[in-house]
Structure 1
Amino acid sequence: MTSLPEELLLLALDDETGSVHSDAIGLGLAGAQLVELALGGHVVLEGGRLHASAGDRTDDPLLNAALADIATNGKPAKPSAWLSSRGRGMVSAYGARLAEAGLVKHQKSKTLGVITTHRYPATDTSVKAEVRARLDAVVAQRGGAPDPRTEALASLVHAIGLARRLYGGRDGAGARKELRALAEGDWAARAVSREIAKATAAITAAVAAAAVTAAAGSS
């Protein structure tokens, strides 16, 4: 069975080009790790902070790394604070896992001979189709209450801005509304959304400052 982070990455990948359709996928994958750990009883959210027992283990090396980071982080951290330090390297880690499973092919290239680009075009879309079918059932409110993992997946899809890609246009408005409602009730999705908002604000401020400096230099 694929893990929640793997399912989220599959949904974010373009099957043909292998590019990722979300600038916030790293934070989303870290958020998916938190959900997996919480559903497995390895992490508890108490008083708005993450708690984990030192020495606790799962059968997943990537989740174990996240779990160890939570357990040995000293003072229990707020989910958004923990996420802010975990986004980097997530796509590579889970992209490699999908490639090992034969679901994607890892392609690496260089732009201008300097910037390395990683892409993951699909080689087997059967698992992604099953994940998408589960997500479609949730947003269409079919089959009663969704299972916790699929509900969390739906929430994270909204949190990382993937909803409009998967359910675009006027026809997808109802699906996007359902995803937003799910995300508002999910603590991991809310934490991811807060970190995305902070990152966006920081980028906007940097661009504005650069523009002011450039204007001052030309006057």
Structure 2
Amino acid sequence: MTTAKDLFIITMDPRPERSVGQGDLSLALAGAELIDLIDAGAVTVDEDRIVPVEASTPQDGLLGEAAALLTREPPHERIEDWLWRRGRDLAAAYQAALEEDGELTRKRSGRLSFGSKRVEPVDTPARRAAAERWEEREPVLAALASAVGVEGGRPENAEEAENAEEAEDTKNAEDAEDQRGLDDDAVTAVVTAVHDAVMELEAVRQRRTIENSAFANLWRGP
């Protein structure tokens, strides 16, 4: 499968302790698509701009859709702008595609027949390949997962869990600046842009929370 589909699956299996936001995941999926297009020779990166190259259409439907949406006339699109444009509702598109391919299934979360449904990965060769790539900490997949808060391994005790939580913000910031194992400048630029976009989205969320709280306090009065 593609890096984007592998990323979607590992955000669900194993499930991270902190759930991944759909907006964060959509941005990371757009970055994953771009990295696969770079690897396929379909695009190059000139500083922070995406330059399409004539290449065969990717066999994967969503990746082919991404290639078709590239801006082919100069001035070419900036990586950051691509992430926001392509990333809109992209997580939902990948969920639908993976369900259609039989890689995801819906299961009821409660004992009652009318309980809400949750989506889970199916035990398929593609799912196992994604898990193996994750277990090996393949640098690109690990870096993109880190951007949305999915880290490798699980703390074995409460003390380790507390230390991991305290180090999380610092690690995410370091990952944005130092992508160890990424030996391609273009890929590094994409991963860094994903980290920056996710941080920007979180800042927007926090600002809206503060504004909504202030508005609610205004209506409640003294």
TM-score by length of structure 1 reads 0.73
Q: Does 1:212 align with 2:177?
A: no
TM-score calculated relative to the size of structure 2 = 0.72
Contact 1:103 1:123 in 2 (8 A): yes
Give yes or no for the alignment of 1:157 onto 2:145: yes
Task: Tell me by how many angstroms 1:42 deviates.
Answer: 0.5
Q: Distance in 2 between matches of 1:155 and 1:29?
A: 12
- The answer as to whether partners of 1:30 and 1:83 remain within 8 angstroms in 2 is yes
Offset of residue 69 of structure 1 = 1.8
* Unaligned segments of structure 2, at least 5 residues: 110-115, 183-187
**Residue in 2 aligned with 1:57?**
57
Question: Is 1:21 the counterpart of 2:19 in the alignment?
Answer: yes
Tell me the amino acid that sits aligned with residue 197 of structure 2: E
Is 1:182 the equivalent of 2:192?
A: no
Show CA shifts across 1:8-45 (max 9, x none): 111011479xxx93111111111110011000011111
Greater Cα shift, 194-203 or 178-187: 178-187
- Return the letter of the residue paired with 2:193: A
Say whether the 8 Å CA contact 2:44–2:53 is kept in structure 1. no
Give matches, 1:1-219, under 5 Å: 2-14=1-13, 21-23=19-21, 24-53=24-53, 57-72=57-72, 75-106=75-106, 119-124=118-123, 126-138=125-137, 150-163=138-151, 166-169=152-155, 170=160, 180=175, 181-182=178-179, 186-217=188-219, 218-219=221-222
Provide the C-alpha distance between the structure 2 equivalents of 1:191 and 1:25, rounded to a whole number of angstroms: 14
User: How many residue pairs were aligned?
Assistant: 193
Q: 4+ residue runs of structure 1 moved beyond 6 angstroms?
A: 176-179
Letter in 2 for 1:36: D
| Comparing 100-109 and 32-41, the one that deviates more | 100-109
Q: How many Å separate the matches in 1 of 2:2 and 2:42?
A: 15
Relative to structure 1, the CA distance from residue 92 to residue 128 in structure 2 (aligned partners, 3 Å threshold; closer, same or farther) is: same
Deviation at 1:7, TM superposition (A): 0.5
Please give the root-mean-square deviation of Cα atoms over the aligned residues, in Å: 3.4
Cα distance in 1, alignment partners of residues 35 and 63 from structure 2 = 10
For residues 55 and 40 of structure 1, the distance between their equivalents in structure 2, rounded to whole angstroms, comes to 8
Matched residues in 2 for 1:202 and 1:184: separation? 31
- Residue matched to 2:112: none
TM-superposition CA deviations, 1:118-167 (whole Å, max 9, x none)? 842123155333323333323xxxxxxxxxxx32111101111111xx42
Distance 1:183 1:214, change over 3 A: farther
Instruction: Letter of the 2:69 partner, please give it.
Output: D
Amino acid at match of 1:153: L
Tell me the CA shift for residue 77 of structure 1.
Answer: 1.8
Q: Quick check: 1:30–1:87 contact (8 Å CA) kept in 2?
A: yes
Structure 1 spans left out of the alignment, 5+ residues = 110-116, 139-149
SS of residue paired to 1:213:
helix
Q: Summarize the Cα distance change of 1:89–1:210 in structure 2 as closer, same or farther, 3 Å threshold.
A: closer
Structure 2 SS opposite 1:41: coil
- CA displacement at 1:73 relative to structure 2: 7.0
Distance 1:52 1:108, change over 3 A: farther
CA distance in 2, matches of 1:14, 1:133: 12
Shift in Å, 1:74? 5.6
